[in-house]
Chains A and B, each alone.
Chain A
Amino acid sequence: MKKVVSIILSLSILLTLMAGCGSSPNTESGGANTNGGSSSGKVTIRFSSWDSAESFEQQQKLVDEFNKTHPNIQVNFEGYGDQYDTKISAAIGAGDAPDVMYMWNYPKYKEALEPLDSYIQKEGDSYKSNFYETLWNYNSMEGQILGLPVGYTSFVLYYNKDLFDKAKVAYPTDNWTWDDLHAAAKKLTDQGKKVYGYAVPAKPDPYDYEMFLWSNGTSYTGVNGTVQGYLNSDKAAQAFTVMQDMLKDGSAISVTSSNYGEAEFKSGKTAMYITGAWSVNTLKNAKVNFGVALLPRYSSNQKSVSAVGSSGVAISKTCKNKEAAWEFAKYWTSEELNKARIGYELPVLKSVAESQNFSSDPIYSKFYTMLEESKNYTPTLLKYSNWSDLSDSLTQAFEQMFNPSVYKNPKDALNDVANNF
């Protein structure tokens, strides 16, 4: 009887061990990852990004290139796509941060990141000044630089040329106001065919939509984080009223997809929408005949301002080989790599944008113009301590404004938010 017991027990232990062996043909590299070094004196760096399958291979090639030219450093590339935040949160929370990380949400991760000012200083002034100045703001917290700019996007107005031609409407210009856009949208709309002039995302990211407040002369918060009189000001409400009006008169459609209505635009169901540079390649590949213009203005004596979506590469505080990590971060933001990633990210180095003649490119120049216009604006994300809750409330306010079953008055919706903070 006891024999049977011991046989069963040892069998289950054996199986457990087998499970262990079967699982890992090369545990070594895994071990090396966490130790940050292996017997041969080679330093291992874990590099993680939000690349999905679409861009993974391309990025991997660039990493391989580095590994080839740096015999003492082995960089392992990890791409987590859409769930990047969950993955690195869990990893950092458990004390297992990747050494080099793609980064945009600095307020959330700042305490896990190594300040880079001293590293940058060593490279000399010209190194730093070659990056667009605006982007340093987006990669710094509390006066410390936490990441090297690696890519950015500003927002522009995309329009479908074929639909404009068909409706015999003149293409949008860089001087358009929202009233011009509204008038054009009415002409472009064909309710019978379910074609609409403009797309309003029902659930935009509040981070991005601060640009409409900026364009109309206000922002979510003032100095010391005051909310009252800023995000619920008349100017703020006015900025969104025009969009709601378009929805109400049927010249725009409320879109739920997370890509700001890319799917509808791609299939020719909407003539205009506002989004970042990530759509350029998608639309080119889908062979959509499109153009872009600067964001519309709220009145002819105002300028339009764009939100800047910025990405950087940051180094973990817990990284054991910071010099090697810096070496790689430098490589990743170099001219050569800026060039190699064109079409996937907009170059952040002035020298590259110049050598590629982006200032005369009918599409790319718009993004750089919008970037320049946005120089003096700092998003509330970077200066307001409780952004995550504010953003949550704002999202709900936007939904109430733009959801066809509610269409709440923008002023009321924004007042509700302001009264909670």
Chain B
Amino acid sequence: MKELTKKKKINFTPWIFISPWIIGFLIFTAMPLLFSLIMSFFNWPVIGQKVFVGFQNYITMFTKDAQFYKSLFITLKFALIFVPFNLIIALILAVMISIPVRGVYAYRVIFYLPTVVSGVAVSIIWGWILNGQYGVFNYILSFIGISGPDWLNNPSWAIVAIVIAGAWGVGTMMLIFYTAIKAISKDLYEAAYIDGASNVRSFFSITLPLITPTLLFNLVTSIITSLQEITLVLLLTNGGPMKSTYFYGLYVFNNAFVKNRLGYACANAWFMFLIILLLTALVFKSSDVWVYNAAGKNKKRSKTS
């Protein structure tokens, strides 16, 4: 194999390594993906006659469906709040649980605990806590003289309620950051300490640059998941009040399974796919500047500033 590479022939080794994914993609992903694209050109009720309609679904979506724009806008707004909010909290928590104080083991478990709870239970609990009339949250707020809003019943507050309840599951991202932080060699910190760098400075000059690949991962995946968010809005607010939390994911789901318009839902989904693809491409493009890559081309950044 080594000789092959030397002769500049095709190196099969990487192909062998990635073969499981390629096989899996061909068997389990390619067909449904392609099929959903085909369905988007049909009037395809889940039950009933299927008729080819060309680009009609896309045209209807852009020209006749006001809800399409509303849902799209709400979802983008949610992502704009939720993604940075979640990333920052996750990073703060990850740093906190990597500081070896007494009881840190317990804090790790506490911070991580909510991610283990199933979505059904999460929505019930938060539905109670945020109940405007009888909820615990407003009860606690009343002690400090604040009369809390009717979280789930007020169009301007419902999206905030979703952010609060959604951030409860931030533990996954925290754990991913934490793993990346733990992988940093402690020699770097020792050297910085000897040089008299403060903790804050160490964080910004060592920790942050070295976990940028993970930051990129968390950024991309949280953009994707927040633009596809459905569980919480389905169970906690069911898109309400007055569609103020009728996220795009819920819109697609309802088109497919409630309104019996699978073809149209596929068109919706593929449009969102393009938006996500575009955003992800932008993030990746920018990552050449800010993401540390020791194995790739930008070796110049291997020394931290």
Contact = CB atoms under 8 A, between A and B. Distances in A.
Chain A directly contacts chain B within the complex, with at least one CB pair under 8 Å: yes
Interface size class of B (residues with CB under 8 A): 20 to 34
Given A5-B16, A388-B260, A405 B49 contact: no
Nearest 10 Cβ contacts at the A-B interface: A93-B46, A111-B48, A388-B259, A399-B242, A112-B47, A89-B46, A89-B257, A405-B154, A86-B257, A1-B1
A326 B258 CA distance: 28
A253 interface: yes
Contacts of A411: none
Contacts of A404: 150, 153-154
Interface residues of A, number: 32
A256 B257 contact: no
Interface in B166-202: none
A18 interface: no
Interface string B151-168: 011111000000000000
Nearest to B261: A388
B133 A405 contact: no
Given A5-B16, A109-B47, A85 B258 contact: yes
B153 to A, nearest CB: 6
B67 to A, nearest CB: 8
A254 B154 CA distance: 12
Given A12-B20, A194-B134, A389-B259, A254 B47 contact: no
A405 B155 contact: yes
B202 to A, nearest CB: 41
A293 interface: no
A257 to B, nearest CB: 8
Given A112-B47, A203-B238, A396-B243, A256 B259 contact: no
A372 B259 CA distance: 31
B119 interface: no
A108 B46 CA distance: 9
B262 interface: yes
A228 to B, nearest CB: 20
Contacts of B243: 396
Nearest to B253: A86
Contacts of B1: 1
Contacts of A403: 153-155, 241-242
A225 B37 CA distance: 34
B240 A399 contact: yes
A109 B241 CA distance: 29
Interface string B132-151: 01100000000000000010
